[in-house]
Structure 1
Amino acid sequence: MSAQREMKEKNPWPVTIIIIVIGVIAIVALVTVAVLQNMPLSQKYKYGIVLDAGSSHTALYIYEWPAEKDNNTGRVEQTHSCKVKGPGISSYASDPWKAGESLKECMKEAEMKVPGKRHHETPLYLGATAGMRLLNMENGSASDQVFQAVEGALQKFPFSFQGARILSGQEEGAFGWVTVNYLDDRLKQGLETTGALDLGGASTQISFVSSNYNGSESPSNSVTFRLYGNNYNLYTHSFLCYGKDQAMKLMLAQQTKSGPETILDPCFHPGYNETKSYSDLYNSPCVSNRKPQGAPATFTHMGRGNFQQCQEVVKKVFDFTSCKYSQCSFNGVFQPLLQGPFGAFSAYYFVMNFLNLTNTSIPLDAVRQKIKDYCATPWKQVMAQHPDVKVNYLQEYCFGATYILTLLTEGYNFTSESYSNIKFIKKIKGSDAGWTLGYMLNLTNMIPAEAPDTPPLPHAGYVSIVTLMAILLFILFLVSLRPLWRRCSKHPRII
């Protein structure tokens, strides 16, 4: 019995087992804590709302981003959009209160889409573009009254209203460029940027980075950004009165400058016939000073449907003769050499998409031919082929397509080769292309000037290294017990 007791006292296994169990528990605890500590938490979001008060309509956009990554790596995404019923707010100059009323339906949608606990901290912006720029030029007091009505309506909602204002053409172009490149992840990664081509109802913008432009030749067209640690010297220009709707007024003004009772318009389909008012045609500041003296109250607008003649008429709305710079686009405006890919959005997309011409792999000559064939199609046939399209939109696609092609090739100097660098876009990764996202990113400082710091290791890499280190420690621990293994291997003899 004494020998057995001595054997048990000399046997180290119970102590070894206890040490091993404690070691295993410690290692499991270490790995578990590392995994739990680095597990993604349930995501919380913040929101922003921007109203785009354009010349022809107003649209509301809701943006969302991770709450804990306000100014770092959190990606801002569009989660909802709402098109306000009725025309743009500039159309309510004679009844300003209606401008505010028109926004309420979309604002009620925003109340439902943004979580209630986030309402009070959600910034709400309204930016007005060329329609209000024109109204402000024509009637400043009417413009002020429209803004008062809009602000009064928006302040009744539970969001953090940040004001309503008119964007300059330069801002509209620059923020459109920011939006396109932000959504395409070109800014954060420091890639070659994409130029932005925006075509609205009353103005059009072109914005791009050119390596041969430093802003010295035309400082008014230069905007400098420092984003994610990179400097961008951006060329941008906005042409007021050269949006699609106002350009059509310029085109019709060319054809009615003598005050005729009838015009045969090559930019409208054969068989098109409408009676139109001279007062309505010349009610815009873009053409009001051109109204012919002694013109009748109305004129008969008839279509001819001839693309080549239409393009000749459209060219007359541009001035290609004067240029005091080394090179110009049109109307004596400086433009550096085109560079890189371009994204064309807003009316560019809607018109070209209607004609199935958004695929820029189609040669430019083939694009011209398709527009030519479409313009020559009789009006009755066009209406029969598109019964679901509103007539006021349908009647303008021939002019719209001809104008776009002329603006791009004759105005901005795209060639048969560089035309293929244009991509007609409506959305990028689920968010609408346009100035609104860039505007909000700027006002909320969501894009840092310097590149954000990032952890040295990703979550998965960190957990893997911790796990390997724990296993290595465990192996070393077992190796340290080798002397005990030898002692345990010597079986005690019972005497």
Structure 2
Amino acid sequence: MSAQREMKEKNPWHTPVTIIITVIGVIAIVALVTVGVLQNKPLLQKYKYGIVLDAGSSHTALYIYEWPAEKDNNTGRVEQIHSCKVKGPGISSYASTPLKAGESLRECMQEAEQRVPRKRHHETPLYLGATAGMRLLNMEDSAASNKVFQAVEEALQKFPFAFQGARILSGQEEGAFGWVTVNYLDDRLKQGLETTGALDLGGASTQISFVSDNYDGSESPDNSVTFRLYGNGYNLYTHSFLCYGKDQALRMTLAQQTLSGPRTIQDPCFHAGYNETKNYSVLYDSPCVSKRKPQSAPATFIHEGKGNFQQCQEIIKRVFNFTDCKFSQCSFNGVFQPLLQGPFGAFSAYYFVMNFLNLTDTSIPLETVRDKLSRYCATPWHQVVQQHPGVKVKYLAEYCFSGTYILTLLTEGYNFTSWSYPKIKFIKKIKGSDAGWTLGYMLNLTNMIPAEAPDSPPLPYTGYVSIVTLLAVLLFILFIVSLRPLWPRCSKQLQII
């Protein structure tokens, strides 16, 4: 018995502390290995989807958005994965044939069925937002507007998505959601950086939205929108000018030149050699100009081009009112606007027009931009047609006007100067997603941007790795130390041998 007791005392494995340390060490090492394997195991990413239809004045476009399903309201970035331009004009053009408005959407909706995984169809929200074209139709004929929406809703409900309704966006919403889109895609909201202003130009309206340190919303509350996004508060100035989209602005400019009902006009905003017969009733078929139609006008007039940038700009200025202002400062038409601040992103028609004219590079001095535009407008019409054989004549004829209008709107209307103009960036897409109001609209309706900053883990990733490594090393050392009683015995055995 004494011999057995002596052997147990000499055997270090019978020490309780040694056994506990050894077991803990082995378990810790196994756990660390297991965590490492599980942490680096590739996981199948699941996604959610959203669809937004932008029913503009000149056309309708469909956008499909995708985001990680596990990060709905946290850090998952929403990205545009597909867009589809609906064939034909905007839905407001179908006032007399509303069923065709719904039918026009079918092809793009079928594309959406193919793009969104079938198992996600029933949970994918589908929105349709109509802008200035439908605003004008609603002003002119609310019954026709309602019929168009009814036809559109019936058509969209036939598809297997979670249809959330169709409605008209206010100008303020359109401007604000465009601002959200631009700053969300640039990660400015999440990181609390200086925000980018948004300049949007459509066919029937134009929007300007930006944050100004000099604006608290008190002077013109109607132009103020307050957001709290990712824990940061934003007091946004935004205004939408109905009838000042490029298409309606062209109508107003032509109306200025046809006040007396002439049979022929020489238009400096169109190239010399351009000649088209146009219908008075078509020109004045819009609430923006309908009240100005001359009483004794003939059925048609001949629209001739003269190609003079300076004269074109003078005619364009007449559609703005720069004199009336009841506030401390205004843009035009008596609308308050604070001092411009920060960089701006100009998208939609701003980009497409200036890109065609090769004027998207705002590092070019403003005076040089004017000179280039002046030379373009002075180019004879036949030469312009030869240089751009693939462009539709209707669009090609209007680029001189559109470019001059954009420059006039920015400098005379919004008060951009040779110093602030270079801060404008003409953009089509940001990180693969189209700039515009649609993404901001969907983010707002699905609460994809948290009002407060998301909870963060108690330790950063590098700290977590450091602590795990330190514990692993410590446990390994304890394991080695626990074997220390065996060291003298092993050395004695070696000496005996």
TM-score where L is the length of structure 2? 0.94
* CA-to-aligned-CA distance 1:371-394 (integer Å, 9 cap, x gap): 000000000000100001111111
Separation (CA, whole Å) in 2 of partners of 1:24 and 1:214: 62
Instruction: Please list, as runs of the form range in 1=range in 2, the aligned pairs for 1:268-417 lying within 5 A after superposition.
Output: 268-417=270-419
Instruction: Please list, as runs of the form range in 1=range in 2, the aligned pairs for 1:406-445 lying within 5 A after superposition.
Output: 406-445=408-447
Residue identity in the other structure for 1:428: I
In the TM superposition, residue 23 of structure 1 has moved relative to its aligned partner by 7.0
* CA-to-aligned-CA distance 1:251-299 (integer Å, 9 cap, x gap): 0000001000000000000100000000110000000000001101000
| Pairing 1:31–2:32 present | yes
Instruction: Please list, as runs of the form range in 1=range in 2, the aligned pairs for 1:75-94 lying within 5 A after superposition.
Output: 75-94=77-96
Separation (CA, whole Å) in 2 of partners of 1:377 and 1:179: 38
> Does the residue aligned with 2:452 lie in a helix, a strand or coil?
coil
In the TM superposition, residue 492 of structure 1 has moved relative to its aligned partner by 7.8
In the TM superposition, residue 490 of structure 1 has moved relative to its aligned partner by 1.9
Identity %: 81
In the TM superposition, residue 57 of structure 1 has moved relative to its aligned partner by 0.2
* CA-to-aligned-CA distance 1:121-151 (integer Å, 9 cap, x gap): 0000000000000000000000000000000
Separation (CA, whole Å) in 2 of partners of 1:353 and 1:211: 32
Q: In 2, are the aligned partners of 1:176 and 1:196 still within 8 Å (CA)?
A: yes
> CA 1:458–1:110 in structure 2 vs 1: closer, same or farther (change >3 Å)?
farther
In the TM superposition, residue 315 of structure 1 has moved relative to its aligned partner by 0.3
| Pairing 1:257–2:259 present | yes
Residue identity in the other structure for 1:62: I
Q: In 2, are the aligned partners of 1:30 and 1:470 still within 8 Å (CA)?
A: no
Instruction: Please list, as runs of the form range in 1=range in 2, the aligned pairs for 1:236-247 lying within 5 A after superposition.
Output: 236-247=238-249
From 166, 169, 187, the counterpart of 1:167: 169
In the TM superposition, residue 466 of structure 1 has moved relative to its aligned partner by 1.7
> Does the residue aligned with 2:189 lie in a helix, a strand or coil?
coil
> Does the residue aligned with 1:331 lie in a helix, a strand or coil?
coil
Separation (CA, whole Å) in 2 of partners of 1:357 and 1:244: 17
Q: In 2, are the aligned partners of 1:50 and 1:127 still within 8 Å (CA)?
A: yes
In the TM superposition, residue 19 of structure 1 has moved relative to its aligned partner by 10
Aligned equivalent of 1:126: 128
In the TM superposition, residue 494 of structure 1 has moved relative to its aligned partner by 6.9
> CA 1:460–1:121 in structure 2 vs 1: closer, same or farther (change >3 Å)?
farther
Q: In 1, are the aligned partners of 2:54 and 2:62 still within 8 Å (CA)?
A: yes
Q: In 2, are the aligned partners of 1:35 and 1:463 still within 8 Å (CA)?
A: no
Q: In 1, are the aligned partners of 2:121 and 2:161 still within 8 Å (CA)?
A: yes
Separation (CA, whole Å) in 1 of partners of 2:231 and 2:439: 20
In the TM superposition, residue 469 of structure 1 has moved relative to its aligned partner by 1.4
- Segments of structure 2 that go 5 or more residues without pairing to the other structure are 1-5
Q: In 1, are the aligned partners of 2:52 and 2:63 still within 8 Å (CA)?
A: yes
Q: In 1, are the aligned partners of 2:267 and 2:304 still within 8 Å (CA)?
A: yes
Instruction: Please list, as runs of the form range in 1=range in 2, the aligned pairs for 1:125-274 lying within 5 A after superposition.
Output: 125-274=127-276
Residue identity in the other structure for 1:265: D
> CA 1:475–1:140 in structure 2 vs 1: closer, same or farther (change >3 Å)?
same
Aligned equivalent of 1:465: 467
* CA-to-aligned-CA distance 1:35-63 (integer Å, 9 cap, x gap): 24434632100000000000000000000
Residue identity in the other structure for 1:99: A
- Segments of structure 1 that go 5 or more residues without pairing to the other structure are 1-5
Aligned equivalent of 1:3: none
In the TM superposition, residue 28 of structure 1 has moved relative to its aligned partner by 3.9
In the TM superposition, residue 25 of structure 1 has moved relative to its aligned partner by 5.1
In the TM superposition, residue 465 of structure 1 has moved relative to its aligned partner by 3.0
Residue identity in the other structure for 2:27: A
| Pairing 1:74–2:97 present | no
Q: In 1, are the aligned partners of 2:175 and 2:200 still within 8 Å (CA)?
A: yes
> CA 1:200–1:494 in structure 2 vs 1: closer, same or farther (change >3 Å)?
closer
> CA 1:458–1:119 in structure 2 vs 1: closer, same or farther (change >3 Å)?
farther
In the TM superposition, residue 467 of structure 1 has moved relative to its aligned partner by 3.2
* CA-to-aligned-CA distance 1:413-454 (integer Å, 9 cap, x gap): 000000011000000000000000000000001111100012
In the TM superposition, residue 83 of structure 1 has moved relative to its aligned partner by 0.2
Separation (CA, whole Å) in 2 of partners of 1:105 and 1:370: 40
* CA-to-aligned-CA distance 1:210-253 (integer Å, 9 cap, x gap): 00000000000000001111110000000000000000000000
Residue identity in the other structure for 2:162: S
Aligned equivalent of 1:490: 492
Q: Relative to structure 2, which stretch is displaced further, 387-396 or 163-172? A: 387-396
Q: In 1, are the aligned partners of 2:344 and 2:423 still within 8 Å (CA)?
A: yes
* CA-to-aligned-CA distance 1:92-141 (integer Å, 9 cap, x gap): 00000000000000000000000000000000000000000000000000
Residue identity in the other structure for 1:31: L
In the TM superposition, residue 480 of structure 1 has moved relative to its aligned partner by 3.1
> Does the residue aligned with 2:493 lie in a helix, a strand or coil?
coil
Q: In 1, are the aligned partners of 2:21 and 2:482 still within 8 Å (CA)?
A: no
In the TM superposition, residue 8 of structure 1 has moved relative to its aligned partner by 13
In the TM superposition, residue 29 of structure 1 has moved relative to its aligned partner by 1.8
In the TM superposition, residue 33 of structure 1 has moved relative to its aligned partner by 2.5
Q: In 2, are the aligned partners of 1:52 and 1:128 still within 8 Å (CA)?
A: yes
Separation (CA, whole Å) in 2 of partners of 1:360 and 1:95: 43
Aligned equivalent of 2:104: 102
In the TM superposition, residue 471 of structure 1 has moved relative to its aligned partner by 2.2
In the TM superposition, residue 457 of structure 1 has moved relative to its aligned partner by 3.4
> CA 1:491–1:216 in structure 2 vs 1: closer, same or farther (change >3 Å)?
same
> Does the residue aligned with 1:490 lie in a helix, a strand or coil?
helix
> Does the residue aligned with 1:395 lie in a helix, a strand or coil?
helix
Q: In 2, are the aligned partners of 1:213 and 1:235 still within 8 Å (CA)?
A: yes
In the TM superposition, residue 32 of structure 1 has moved relative to its aligned partner by 2.4
Q: In 1, are the aligned partners of 2:25 and 2:475 still within 8 Å (CA)?
A: no
Separation (CA, whole Å) in 1 of partners of 2:489 and 2:417: 88
Residue identity in the other structure for 2:39: N
TM-score where L is the length of structure 1? 0.95
Aligned equivalent of 2:3: none
What is the number of residues matched between the two proteins? 491
In the TM superposition, residue 487 of structure 1 has moved relative to its aligned partner by 2.8
Separation (CA, whole Å) in 2 of partners of 1:20 and 1:228: 47
> Does the residue aligned with 1:275 lie in a helix, a strand or coil?
strand
In the TM superposition, residue 459 of structure 1 has moved relative to its aligned partner by 4.9
Q: In 1, are the aligned partners of 2:22 and 2:482 still within 8 Å (CA)?
A: no
Separation (CA, whole Å) in 2 of partners of 1:457 and 1:122: 35
Separation (CA, whole Å) in 2 of partners of 1:376 and 1:444: 50
